Structure formats: structure tokens, C-alpha cells
Amino acid sequence: MTRRIFYGWFIVGSGIVITCVGVGAMLSLSVFLQPMSEAMGWSRTGMSTTALINWLCMGVSAFIWGALSDRFGTRAVVLSGGVLLGLGLVTASRAATLGQFQLLFGVLVGLAAGSFFAPLIATTTRWFTRNRSLAVALVSAGLSLGSTVVGPLARWLISSYDWRTAMLVIGDLAWLLIIPAALLVREPAPSADTPAAAAATTDGPGFTVAQALTSPQFAAIALAFFACCAAHSGPIFHMITHAIDHGVSAMAATTVLSVAGLASLSGRIVCGLIADRIGAKKMLVIGLAMQAVAVSLYVFTTSLGSFYALAVLFGFSYGGVMPLYAILIREYFGARIMGTTFGAVSAVSTLGMALGPWAGGFFYDTLGGYFWLYMGSFGIGLGAVAIAFTFRPPRRAPAALPSPSLAT
């Protein structure tokens, strides 16, 4: 008798594809940065502002999409985001001015990207009891695959054709891949003999949304996530142009980002496995410390070999910490409101993701280099480590007291 494959793993597979294409398409803007600046005459600050808009819109929409997924289901949310993402990319490929591009790519693509990560992570946690950290890490690994796959594809299309054709093709691929994958997503059935049902029954009543969002622990996790993302977003976004500025060819510089993406993929899986053993908090502190050190080393990196070596360390560290926030949110606030709470904490984190690319473009255009970007990111990274140390063990919200009118 053949054993059926647990459907939760199909959720993981769909999540990998959706986050890879969906978020990877938005992150590919770093590949378009130099060729679009040269072709259109737009400054790096102007292009980086598009990334700022991306992350701000993603942050606002992540909370909204997360709440909608709790109410209407993740499938409807991801399908809507996939349609909107393709529309944003296809129309942005026709933009004639920087303002048009910032509106189409910055706003539409940013709003769409917010529909993928938080809802899919929330659904994944509801499917798993055993191997939960690994499952979340694998879905999160789609973000790393996005940089590894979509970035080189965009560079090849730009080199073979032009930036407009490249963006148009990526928009079409978003429709072709995300929409079918989204149709496979579903919520776990409330059957008593499934692992998902076991997760629900052991989760307990937990917190209400109001209790969760106003708790000190939510504020601590959100602030740590914000500082973590602020520390690594600028170095990631400007990784290619920084390498090009040091004489590395455009294609080789793109492969540096791909190496970081592959290292990030391994970091998510390895750190997820370790977190299942030592706990998410300990692994988060270790990963954040590694990230801060890696960022500081960019001021000494000048050759292609050193860029590759540092990409491995940097990618492993920033990739390894990203799934851990979802695990912490699940441990503190439960699965029932996971979409809303993780969407909210993701919204705060994207403010950090928004600042880094813009700050890098500003420092480059005003000071002629990225030195202060890396020094500032290093300091913020150390702040994230300090905040993570303050996390307390999770505890349940106290049960509500009976109403006085019902007391005997």
C-alpha cells in the first residue's frame, strides 16, 4: 500500500515558486539599476527611490493582505497579487518618465509583492507541527531563489534585447507561473487526525489581534526585524553596482548577487534546522551578529574573488535569520491570527527594507561612494542584535475572567 504524500509539502512547493517569482521580480530592480540609469538618464537616487516606494507599498499591503488571508483564505490573496504583479511589470516596461516608472513599478509591484510572503508563511505554519521551522525556511527560501534565478534572467534579457523587453518578459512569466501555483494553495482541513488539526488544537486560544499588536513582545520583534532589514537591504540592492564600480563586469557582478542568493537559500534551511534544536531566539542572535560583521567587511572588498567570498557569508547570515521571525510570531501569538500578526510585523520590517536602497543611492550621489552606507548598516545591525537579546520566553494571554453578571 502506497503512502500518501502529506499535502503540506505541496503548500511548501507552491510557496517556493510563488515567492521566488513574485518577490524575485521586485528585487530584480537592482539588476535594472545601471542599464536603466544609462539608457534613460535617471539618477541612482531616482531609481533607488523606486525601491523605497516598493518597500513602503509592500509594507502597507503586507498587513492588509495578511488580514485578508485570515478572513478569505490565502489562495484568493495570492491569486489577486499574482494578477497585480504581472500588470505592474508589463505596464512599467512601457514607462516613458521616471515618475511613471515609480508609479507603475514602485506602487503596483510593491502592493502585489506584499500578498505573497506573509500569507504563505502563515498558511505553512498552520499545516505543520513537526518540521515547522524547516517548512517555513523552505518557503522563505523562495526569496533567495528569486535573486538567484530572476536576477540572471533579467541580466541576460537586458544584454540580449533591452530593459523594456526584459521587464515585459518577467511580467508575463509572473502571470504564467504564479497563477497556476496559487491554485494549489489551500487551508488545512479541520480533521482531528491531521497534523494541521493537531497544530490548531495545541495552539490554544492565544491572543486577540488587539492584544498581540499592543504587546511589548510584538514591538520588540517588529523593531528587531526592522533593524535587521535596514542593515542588509542597502548592501543587497547596491551589491551589483558596487562591484561594477570596482571594475567587475556587469554579468560577473550579477553572478555575485546570485551567489549571495544561493548562500541565503542554504542559510534559511540550515538555520531553520538548527532553530528546531536550539530555539529560534538563539539562532536569531547568532545570525544577526554574523550579518553585522559581514556588512562591515564590504568596505574592504574590491576584487571579484573577495566579492564572491563575502557574498557567501553575507547571504548565509541574512538568509538564515529571515524565517525565524515567523517562527517567533507563531510561538508568541499562535496560528489563528498568524496572517494578521506576521503581516503587521512584516509591514514594519519593510520600512527598513525601504530605507537601505534609498540611503545607498543618496550616499553615492552626494559622497561618491558607499562607505557610509556600510558603516551605517553595520551600526544598525549591531542594534538588531541588542534588541534580539531582550526577547522573553513566549507565554499565553491570560484567559478572560467571567463577567460579573454571570458570576455565581
Provide the grid cell at 23: 518577490
Give the whole-angstrom CA distance, residue 67 versus residue 79: 15
- Report mean pLDDT in 10-residue bins for the chain, 408 residues: 77 92 88 87 84 85 83 90 95 93 93 88 83 80 79 90 94 94 86 48 61 88 93 89 88 86 85 83 93 93 91 92 85 78 83 84 85 93 93 60 37
> Taking a C-beta distance cutoff of 8 angstroms, is the pair 56, 354 a contact?
yes
Give, in degrees to the nearest 5, the angle at Cα 90 between 87 and 95.
115
Q: Give Cα 67 to chain centroid, integer Å.
A: 18
CA distances from 71 to 64, 117, 191, 276 (A): 11, 17, 20, 29
pLDDT for position 97: 92
CATH 3.30.365.10 holds for 10-186+201-392? no
What does the alpha-carbon distance between residue 316 and residue 102 come to, in Å, rounded to a whole number?
Answer: 31
pLDDT for the residue numbered 302: 86
The type of residue at 68 is L
- What does the radius of gyration of the chain's CA atoms come to, in whole angstroms? 21
Task: State residue 145's pLDDT score.
Answer: 80
pTM: 0.69
Element spanning 261, H or E:
helix 250-278
Burial code (b: 16+ CB inside 10 Å, e: under 16) for 135-165 equals: bbbbbbbbbbbbbbbbbbbbbebbeeeebbe
Report whether 133 contacts 276 (CB < 8 A): yes
Q: Which amino acid is at 213?
A: L
pLDDT value for 199: 47
